[in-house]
Amino acid sequence: MITVNTLKQAKLDQNKITMLTCYDSSFASLLDTCGIEILLVGDSLGMVMQGESSTLPVDLEDMCYHTRCVAKGNKNALVLSDLSFGSYEDSKEQAFVSASQLMKNGANMVKLEGGEYQAETIHFLQQRSIPVCAHIGLTPQAVNTIGGYKVQGKGDAAEQLLKDAKALDEAGASLMVMECVPKELAKKITKEVSCPTIGIGAGVYCDGQVLVLQDMLGIYLGKKAKFVKNFMQGQDSIENAIKAYIKAIKNLTYPDDEHSFL
């Protein structure tokens, strides 16, 4: 079983951590059997499963349903579930009520978006037996305030992102997703925080990598993001594509500069 301790040790051993999104039981079983360490029940299911144009319409009930499906198909991987938009921002108490629902449905850790202002909530959940993965950089639930899906932490914004990462780490985050962050900044953050970092469009120096499953299988909804690589290319089965993804992460050939923000 992959636990928070396995992930901590992987960072110390410099053994890259593999994560993919997963929304159902049959893929959970396949990804787990292939050796993926973390199954992310992401709120990207809004786009991938429900045909929405953003993650905002996804409800906590949707997240609980898909978490339950994934947990049933899984044996060894750590199940990480997203707190949906509107289910945690109001107060740390609201976050606990929502996060505990995800845990009751089979999550081993919950993920929430935001910078240092989320430190108190992360500390509150961690103290109450709920491990938390922070999500910084491009935070898709904030697409309307950010003004689009674009690279974060460029220029002067780099300092604030580093400050966010340190505050969330000190608050007790067990894991940190960094989305669309320049490679060298992600490297600096990875060095300075004690929790493992997982990149998506954040370069090869993160402690692990995540992609949306459908993206890495070449099923793109709309425009392909720079960091997405189609691992089905050259493979004759989904199973082999997943194994190629794991191998590329472990031997540091993905993401290369073509799939990173420099």
Question: Which residues are catalytic, by number?
Answer: 179
212 scored as a contact of ligand KIV (CB under 6 A): yes
Given the complex with ligand KIV, which of 134 and 237 has the nearer CB atom? 134
For residues 112 and 86, is the Cβ–Cβ distance under 8 A? Answer: no
In angstroms, the CA 44 to CA 55 distance is 6
Q: How far is the CB of 50 from ligand KIV (least distance, A)?
A: 12
Q: Are 62 and 50 in contact (CB under 8 A)?
A: yes
- Select from 35-43, 88-96, 183-191, 229-237 the region that touches ligand KIV (CB under 6 A): 35-43
- What does the alpha-carbon distance between residue 182 and residue 204 come to, in Å, rounded to a whole number? 11
Task: Provide the Cα torsion 32, 36, 40, 45; round to 10°.
Answer: -70
Q: Report d(CA 111, CA 26) in Å as an integer.
A: 23
Q: Tell me which stretch binds ligand KIV (CB under 6 A): 9-17, 40-48, 146-154, 230-238.
A: 40-48
Which among 37-45, 157-165, 234-242, 243-251 is the span making contact with ligand KIV, rule CB under 6 A?
Answer: 37-45
Quote the least distance from Cβ 211 to ligand KIV, whole Å. 8
Radius of gyration of the chain (CA): 17
Residues 43-62, one symbol each (x = binds ligand KIV by CB under 6 A, - = not), give xx------------------
**Residue selected from 177, 193, 204, 232 as contacting ligand KIV according to rule CB under 6 A:** 177
Tell which one of 7, 17, 18, 21 touches ligand KIV (CB under 6 A): 21
For residue 200, state whether it binds ligand KIV (rule: CB under 6 A).
yes
Number of chain positions touching ligand KIV (CB under 6 A) = 11
> Distance of CA 34 to CAs 28, 135, 143, 212, 220, Å?
10, 26, 33, 16, 22
Contact (Cβ atoms closer than 8 angstroms) between residue 38 and residue 2: yes
Helix (H, G, I), strand (E, B) or coil at 233: coil
Indicate the residue among 49 and 162 with the shorter CB distance to ligand KIV.
Answer: 49
User: What's the closest the beta carbon of residue 45 comes to ligand KIV, in angstroms?
Assistant: 7
Residue 82 in the binding site for ligand KIV (CB under 6 A): yes
